A and B are shown apart, each in its own frame.
Chain A
Amino acid sequence: MSTPTRIRSGAMAFSEVPVIPCNDECLLRAGNTNCGGCGMSIGLTMLGRALAEAEDTCTLAIPACCGAVTAGAFPTTSYGVPTVCTTFAASPAVASGLAAIRDINGESGQVICWAGDGGTYDIGLATLSAAAERNENLIYICYDNEIYGNTGGQRSSATPHGARTTTTPGGKEERKKDILAIMAAHGIPYAATLSIAHPEDFRRKLLTAFGMSGMRFLLIHSPCPTGWKSEPADSVALVRMAVASGLFPLVEIFDGERYRVNVEPDFTDPAEYFARQRRFHDDEVDLEATRRTCRARHERLRFLAESFPA
């Protein structure tokens, strides 16, 4: 189905805008400006497919991040759903307002925040925490590329230890913040990690989230060839290695208290993961410590999943 649709920004009075044919079912339209190999593009495409499968739709609230740039320049937009680009820290608040009015009008459709790690782990954390504490009826998706991509690659609190960014030229000394634990600690109905290298798991988690109400938090490990200094073609392979090695565990946490581990890591040596990204330098990464951390983290998650099963 490809009915011609008027693609335009929300600004008023710009009635004379080009009519560009598009496929109405697309969440992310062709012609967007994302870099090749961008995990966000794959994530948005999978989100669109899952919505179509669930015969659902969504309104997007996107803070300042690469995802806002994805929309492209007025009067065109790459998003096939109603979208508001918010200020950097505000997307969970704006989404709370959107969701409240949807609900009091008895309307359907998800309200989804699509935000980067900077908007999630850093500047928007208070806003996000408050929305979670209020158990707002929305889905918050963080595509975590572990860097401020939009501003040219600075550190965030999601940047892993050792990674070079423009503001950590000698490799980051601090470790990555555990945002999943923070969000789960709010006792929200659903918190889960997703990997574009595990599309079936990815799809199932989206469908699970669509079927619930209240605050749902999804964290996508999102390769960023530009920031990771990796080959675009390697993107999916890299995040698959991250899951296999235990660097990025795939888990679900229900109500902050019941756990499920979705993919059992085989503890592939993370050495190759690091070697294939030029943001990491041998002398700035402690491989041995990383291996230990991966195993310890997995043991803890296993213990939680066995003791408090979902």
Chain B
Amino acid sequence: MPVEVVTGNHAAGYALSVAGEANRTARGAACGIYPITPQTEIVERIAAFPFTKGRVVAVESEHSAMGVSMGASLAGARAFTASSSNGLAYMVENIMTAGFYRLPIVMVAVNRTLGPPWNIWADQSDTLMLRDFPWIQLYCSDNQEVTDTTLLAFRLAEDHRVLLPVLVCMDAFIVSHTQGETDLPEQADVDRYLPDLDLPHRLTHDDPRTLGGLIWPDVTTSLRLETHEAMGRVPAVFEECRSAFQDVFGRDPGGMMDTLEVEDAEEILIASATVATTAAEVVKRARAEGRKVGLVKMRMFRPFPEEALRRACASARRVGVLDRDYAAGLGGVWWQDVRAAFQGHRDDVVIQDYLVGIGGGDVTPGLIEDVLEDLRGRERAGPPVWTGIATEKEVMV
């Protein structure tokens, strides 16, 4: 398979396009696209792709980008789009609607700081604010993961046991604009991996239905429950999609979470995306010095893989959560869910939050070493620890 030196955005644009192209033997592909830094290269690549049976609609807003993708999906086509930050915020109403319609749309999101004030650097607060919608969320840490996870996302989304849209996330610039060797799969292999899309509730004249009309509370509850059950099936279906991926492409696209040295670890860091890559280096070094530390690199955020996380942290006395995001009045979003995962199961673990790299600040090995040092000294968890704050002089008031 061709290995090329490409950016994360290039990889995402390629993967979305070949996935769409793979549905040419069925009802084709379409998407609405709208640019925003640092995602723009993705939609430019999609716009330039020579689809055999597809249409790319350059719309006037993110709200409409998801609107067009929803219409295409409702008509039974493979649909996707990409966005970031304020683009996602502007799209929110239709993001949740795609989930409520149970449409298997795949959206690549480049994690960027929300504004104003404007800041285009990496921060996960944009996609994490979508956490309560019926979307699967997967986080990637390099170009290969972006490629593989995007392809896997379609198979996962379109599985009839799931039928949920998927967000595939990567860090602004650190991945989106950084070139690296990436194995970009051939169309023929993608065709083998992604079966023709068969959307059971697509709009047809043979069986005219009304989608999205009025419903009563009990039916609303039933629909929410169905979503909940579909979310519950995701881990198992994810593993199936993962092994099918290995069969076709000959490599492991990665699990819901990857672990490093957790077996006997007393302190475990929990991180995602590129912060996890840096944390892995720090953990390896600490291990070499004989310290019992480990890392859980989270790929799946929704559904939150609670059970697997508890298993991975079975030996831990202290857990440090690295959040490149901030939920106002609370702290880190990942931290909140990690705490919830342990609550009622294990009350003997210190679960401490570290806010790192907010607004795209550098998360250096030194910073993560400091985090580990702080974590080791804790007998109980405290409020979130802020790192990377400006000095008084630098802050404009």
A68 at the interface (CB under 8 A from B): yes
Cβ A109 vs Cβ B209 within 8 A: no
Task: With a 10 A CB-CB cut-off, give which of B94, B211, B213 has the most chain A CB atoms.
Answer: B213
A83 at the interface (CB under 8 A from B): yes
Taking a contact as CB atoms closer than 8 A, the residue among B30, B63, B210, B223 that contacts A85 in the complex is B210
- Chain A nearest CB from B95 CB (Å) reads 10
Q: For the complex, what is the distance from the CA of A244 to the CA of B207, rounded to whole Å?
A: 43
Cβ B213 vs Cβ A68 within 8 A: yes
Residues of B within 8 A of A80 (CB): 208
B76 at the interface (CB under 8 A from A): yes
B27 at the interface (CB under 8 A from A): yes
Residues of A within 8 A of B201 (CB): 10-12
Residues of A within 8 A of B59 (CB): 93, 96, 130
**How many pairs of A and B residues are in contact by the CB < 8 Å rule?**
188
B102 at the interface (CB under 8 A from A): yes
A185 at the interface (CB under 8 A from B): no
Which of A100-108, A216-224, A225-233 lies at the binding interface?
A100-108
Cβ B30 vs Cβ A12 within 8 A: no
Taking a contact as CB atoms closer than 8 A, the residue among B66, B72, B203 that contacts A100 in the complex is B72
- Chain B nearest CB from A234 CB (Å) reads 29
Residues of A202-227 contacting chain B, CB below 8 A: none
Cβ A82 vs Cβ B203 within 8 A: yes
- Whose C-beta in chain A lies nearest to the C-beta of B79? A97
Cβ A100 vs Cβ B71 within 8 A: yes
Residues of A34-61 contacting chain B, CB below 8 A: 57, 59, 61
Q: For the complex, what is the distance from the CA of A298 to the CA of B75, rounded to whole Å?
A: 43
- Chain A nearest CB from B154 CB (Å) reads 17
State whether A71 and B214 are in contact (beta carbons under 8 Å apart), knowing that A10-B203, A84-B203 are contacts in the complex: yes
Residues of A within 8 A of B27 (CB): 101, 105
Cβ B226 vs Cβ A13 within 8 A: yes
Cβ A130 vs Cβ B60 within 8 A: yes
B97 at the interface (CB under 8 A from A): yes
- Chain B nearest CB from A86 CB (Å) reads 7
Taking a contact as CB atoms closer than 8 A, the residue among A9, A61, A72 that contacts B209 in the complex is A9
Q: For the complex, what is the distance from the CA of A99 to the CA of B67, rounded to whole Å?
A: 12
Residues of B within 8 A of A100 (CB): 30, 55, 57, 68, 71-72, 75, 77
Can you show 14 pairs from A to B with CB atoms below 8 A apart?
Answer: A9-B213, A10-B211, A11-B223, A13-B226, A14-B219, A68-B212, A72-B214, A83-B209, A94-B67, A94-B74, A96-B64, A97-B30, A101-B77, A104-B28
- A residues with a Cβ closer than 8 A to B are 6, 8-14, 57, 59, 61, 68-69, 71-75, 77, 79-87, 89-90, 92-105, 109, 126-127, 129-130, 134
4 A-B pairs with the lowest CB-CB distances in the bound complex, closest first: A97-B71, A93-B67, A10-B211, A101-B75
